[in-house]
Structure 1
Amino acid sequence: MVNSLTKIVDHPKINVEQSEYDRIAKSLQYFEGKFDDVKYHNSDHELKTRPYMSINMMKVVAKRMASLLYNEQCRIIVGNDEKFKDANEFIQQTFSDNDFNKNFERYLESDLALGGLVIRPYFDVGQGKIKLSWCQAPTIYPLRNNTNDVSEIAIASVNQIIENDKVIYYTLLEFHEWVNGNYQITNELYRSEDKSIVGIQVPLTSYEPYSGLEPVATLENITRPQFVYLKPQGFNNRNITSPLGIGVCDNALSTLKQINDTFDQFNWEIKMGQRRVAVPEDLTSLGIDERGIKQPKQVFDSSQNVFIKMRGDSEDGFKITDLTSEIRSQAYIAALNNALQVLEMQVGLTAGTFSFDAKGGLKTATEVVSENSMTQQTRSSQLTMVDRAIKELIISILELAKAYEAYNGDIPTMGDISVDFDDGVVTDKQQQLDFFTQAKSAGFASTKLAIKKVFGYTDDQAEDLIKEINAEVPNEPAVTNVPSFEDGDE
């Protein structure tokens, strides 16, 4: 039993260095777009601060990639025969209850940005249904003796409450392990008055929301972990022995900083480049009002900040002088676009995906991605991981439901599950229509397959459309009274 922990990685079961979570924290800062204020000295040598203006390209990249990988048009089917009909219906209902399509695309952003995501099914006793918990990279801790395929893991959940006018932090560590061939989940609760320290171990009953948890729960007849660990495709070159994944922008942080710095300086130059006009001080000199109080003469509109009082007298020849400096818009825009091109190369997106101009700011290309483009190749690579994760999740859900007697059907293998990703996001529909039209004419594709691929229909939808098309085709009139030609007739 562990009595106290300073950091979660100090737990003897956890097999990851703290530096990995420092790296994730750095990526999280860029993903959230939270940076310290800029400190600078003004013209009077006074230290001032101002907000740092970030364009947050990590969020933009992650959102773009997530939308290319998965969206609500994707279809998941368990089996194609009666054997897995119950399994398919159970999964469709479970995914519907958990709004899986929408949540999966949303959490894919976090996975791609921070380098990892855990989806954990659990049985909600109150509803009698399987629910899905989404755990992001900062809360995922692979256990000792795991390197590549993570089969044991710890998930951290931190909550804070007020006790006797003090902020108290409770950290729940949920360990998923294999013990003597059975699947075991162990819950440990820690209490601390310091946010930077995990604290001392306390009973689960110390924190009311966890009072109903068992310290140890064992599941039998389980073949795979009751979680799915999804990480972006690509090797973790920051720590080659770490089981954790690496975000798609982790090797591009210097480029992201360059983009942010350029954008911040550009905005500051625009603000500082507003019109400034020097005027002689006698035009804003003080006068005596009827109450004997010195007041500035009302020469200019009191709400403007364009005019700056300078020492000098208009009678001595000091004229109103325009001090406005030209804003270097083109130079900043060119610098931003150059940095965006480097970023595209580093994250594996087609050149021209992102651009910046003076009218609309940051723009994302909406053109169709060609088959051999860098974006398409990156998508295909990432889909390998996503496809596997979804299939593993389905098996975990069905095994968990069977353990709680919420499902009694057969358990499919990964080969029995098909995930049809929406290729429409990267495919030219006209080119696709032309391709399948020619394939059907050549006898290489059926009408049903062509309709499914071009319109993204299911089998049933395609069959219904074929029936509608056939119903609209008028029947050919029967051919009668055909003359017979005898020899010699013309």
Structure 2
Amino acid sequence: MGIVQTIKNFFTRSKYVMTTQNLNSVTDHPKIAVSSSEYDRIRENLKYFAGQYDTIKYKDSNGDKKERDFNHLPVGRTAAKKIASLVFNEQAEIKVDDEKADEFVQAQLQNDRFIKNFERYLESCLALGGLAMRPYVDKDQVRVAFIQAPVFLPLQSNTQDVSSAAIITKTIKSEGQKNKYYTLIELHEWGEDGKYIVTNELYKSDSQNIVGARVPLAELYEDLEEVVGLDGLSRPLFTYLKTPGMNNKDINSPLGLSIFDNAKTTIDFLNTTYDEFMWEVKMGQRRVAVPTQMIKTEYNADGEKVTVKREFESGQNVYEQFDSGDMDKGIGITDLTTPIRSDDYIKAINEGLSLFEMQIGVSAGMFTFDGRSMKTATEIVSENSDTYQMRNSIVSLVEQSLKELIISILELGKAYKMYHGNIPDMDTISINLDDGVFTDRKAELDYWIKVVTAGFAPDVMAIEKVLNVTPEEAKKIKDQISENTIAKANTGRSDEDVEIYGD
């Protein structure tokens, strides 16, 4: 290390000494505008999503303390995965009317495998209430980082959107025989002059549950600058996608709710019922009453009675009866096995699933199976209207968020001189989320043909709606159709000839 760098590090450390901070939690940071209760709620949602439950502690028939895993149903994860697959899949298309901008965007998204990654992270968004996406420059291309709810905390917000935020990154580093826990807080803010400012703060702790004291960035990130300013940005570098609906847990919070935030008691009921059912099946093995002669007494070296053991299996938590009669008098083993209440438990679980469907806003039967055959798309639209409406609410937010992300990708590319074209308006960006599960394409086409024929709408609007393209793209398609029609008329060839032999 040169003397110049040593002097720089000395002054950097001095500055940190003067502005040192100690934080127990990230919500203690003076700039972060999220209550600790909201942060705890998100972490609790993560436990439901991951299926992390405490073990069950009980005493067996000998009075010994035992511990077993809690049997649970992955209801939270299943709901998030199923709804995410209805909203977004690999058939989704993102297009920009500006040819140069579209070429740049498609190259970045394809290299980063964005479509596949977004489909996966959308599950996290629905389960935890929100997801942030932030483009960043990696060598010669723009990539997209997905910031999940537990590490994305707003600084300022309005009723419409989050305008500035903190992004948390945790790292563990070994120092000798101990682990040191580092927390990088990346603050995204707007300066007074309209400049976009990213401030990096690093904290260090001996405990993973405490953020700790602020330390120089050079301890972990040698090339990371403390403050970075970016010009030419019209919006925040990140885009925040949250679930639709009001946050009824904290009406002043800009964060979204999990799709099952208001159904946790039902999930608890389902898990408890399922655990009892599984345990009853396990305990449903043959059970008997045995004579006292089968009791085994253990003694220590001094001949003192220490414990009383039963010779049958001991890992049970249900008390067994014992007959004190004499086996020689004909009193033997009595079968006490009871039937398993499977019908009652299955009925209770199905009722719980029906209640869960109502609480999260999907149609009845989405998580329960009644043996009916598959339905057509038209029947799905009419029968699953609740699911269809919920999907549309999520789709509109996803489309808006993706458009914002495209703008940020282009602006960041331009700021780093990787892109030299114009920044398009959001109206010129089209997001096509395939909804073939719900939409009967033939019925939709017939509807718009009738509308256009009746003179209630121009054919350009029909093209826009049926093909799900922007108005500008619909006009181009209309012009191409008109040119082909004129060309066929001039040649005098039939449609069949053109189709067989080409133009």
Query: Into which bin does the TM-score normalised by the smaller protein fall?
Result: 0.7 to 0.9
2:367 is equivalent to residue 354 of structure 1: yes
* 1:292 aligned residue: none
* 2:445 aligned residue: 436
Distance between the aligned counterparts of 1:399 and 1:236, measured in 2? 32
| 1:374-385 pair list within 5 angstroms | 374-385=386-397
Relative to structure 1, is the Cα distance of residues 454 and 78 closer, same or farther in structure 2, using a 3 angstrom cutoff?
closer
* 1:8 aligned residue: 26
Relative to structure 1, is the Cα distance of residues 111 and 73 closer, same or farther in structure 2, using a 3 angstrom cutoff?
same
Distance between the aligned counterparts of 2:186 and 2:449, measured in 1? 54
2:119 is equivalent to residue 110 of structure 1: no
* 2:200 aligned residue: 187
* 1:345 aligned residue: 358
Q: 2:133 aligns with which of 89, 94, 119?
A: 119
Task: Give structure 2 stretches of 5+ with no counterpart.
Answer: 1-18, 297-312, 489-494
Kindly indicate whether the alpha-carbon contact (under 8 Å) linking 1:354 and 1:364 is maintained by their aligned counterparts in 2. no
2:270 is equivalent to residue 252 of structure 1: no
Which amino acid is 1:396 matched to? Answer: S
Kindly indicate whether the alpha-carbon contact (under 8 Å) linking 1:248 and 1:347 is maintained by their aligned counterparts in 2. yes
Relative to structure 1, is the Cα distance of residues 473 and 277 closer, same or farther in structure 2, using a 3 angstrom cutoff?
farther
Relative to structure 1, is the Cα distance of residues 409 and 364 closer, same or farther in structure 2, using a 3 angstrom cutoff?
farther
Which amino acid is 2:223 matched to? Answer: G
| 1:292-441 pair list within 5 angstroms | 315-355=328-368, 368=377, 369-371=380-382, 373-427=385-439, 429=440, 432-437=441-446, 440=449
| 1:65-80 pair list within 5 angstroms | 65-79=83-97
Relative to structure 1, is the Cα distance of residues 241 and 331 closer, same or farther in structure 2, using a 3 angstrom cutoff?
same
| 1:245-284 pair list within 5 angstroms | 245-277=256-288
> Helix, strand or coil: the match of 1:354?
coil
Distance between the aligned counterparts of 1:147 and 1:435, measured in 2? 36
> Helix, strand or coil: the match of 2:436?
helix
Relative to structure 1, is the Cα distance of residues 366 and 251 closer, same or farther in structure 2, using a 3 angstrom cutoff?
farther
2:246 is equivalent to residue 235 of structure 1: yes
Distance between the aligned counterparts of 2:373 and 2:249, measured in 1? 29
Kindly indicate whether the alpha-carbon contact (under 8 Å) linking 2:172 and 2:179 is maintained by their aligned counterparts in 1. yes
Count of aligned positions: 437
Distance between the aligned counterparts of 2:369 and 2:330, measured in 1? 46
What CA deviation, in whole Å up to 9, does each residue of 1:448-490 have, x standing for no partner? x89995999x9999x99x99x9569779xxxxxxxxxxxxxxx
Relative to structure 1, is the Cα distance of residues 470 and 345 closer, same or farther in structure 2, using a 3 angstrom cutoff?
farther
Relative to structure 1, is the Cα distance of residues 411 and 257 closer, same or farther in structure 2, using a 3 angstrom cutoff?
same
Kindly indicate whether the alpha-carbon contact (under 8 Å) linking 2:157 and 2:254 is maintained by their aligned counterparts in 1. no
Distance between the aligned counterparts of 1:283 and 1:119, measured in 2? 67
Relative to structure 1, is the Cα distance of residues 324 and 367 closer, same or farther in structure 2, using a 3 angstrom cutoff?
farther
Scaled by the length of structure 1, the TM-score of the pair is 0.80
Relative to structure 1, is the Cα distance of residues 470 and 216 closer, same or farther in structure 2, using a 3 angstrom cutoff?
farther
What CA deviation, in whole Å up to 9, does each residue of 1:327-377 have, x standing for no partner? 1011001111111111101111110111269xx9xx999875315610000
Distance between the aligned counterparts of 1:385 and 1:212, measured in 2? 36
Kindly indicate whether the alpha-carbon contact (under 8 Å) linking 2:156 and 2:163 is maintained by their aligned counterparts in 1. no
Relative to structure 1, is the Cα distance of residues 366 and 212 closer, same or farther in structure 2, using a 3 angstrom cutoff?
farther
* 2:213 aligned residue: 200
Task: Give structure 1 stretches of 5+ with no counterpart.
Answer: 286-301, 476-490
Distance between the aligned counterparts of 1:174 and 1:219, measured in 2? 15
Relative to structure 1, is the Cα distance of residues 25 and 95 closer, same or farther in structure 2, using a 3 angstrom cutoff?
same
Distance between the aligned counterparts of 1:455 and 1:315, measured in 2? 87
Distance between the aligned counterparts of 1:58 and 1:341, measured in 2? 14
Distance between the aligned counterparts of 2:104 and 2:259, measured in 1? 34
Distance between the aligned counterparts of 1:455 and 1:182, measured in 2? 36
Kindly indicate whether the alpha-carbon contact (under 8 Å) linking 1:353 and 1:365 is maintained by their aligned counterparts in 2. no
| Larger CA deviation: 310-319 vs 57-66 | 310-319
* 2:41 aligned residue: 23
> Helix, strand or coil: the match of 1:20?
helix
> Helix, strand or coil: the match of 1:339?
helix
Identity of aligned residues (%): 44
Relative to structure 1, is the Cα distance of residues 315 and 7 closer, same or farther in structure 2, using a 3 angstrom cutoff?
same
Q: Please report the RMSD computed on the Cα atoms of aligned residues, expressed in angstroms.
A: 3.6
What CA deviation, in whole Å up to 9, does each residue of 1:401-445 have, x standing for no partner? 000000001111110101111111223x5xx32553575588659
* 1:98 aligned residue: 112
Kindly indicate whether the alpha-carbon contact (under 8 Å) linking 2:49 and 2:76 is maintained by their aligned counterparts in 1. yes
* 2:73 aligned residue: 55
> Helix, strand or coil: the match of 1:419?
strand
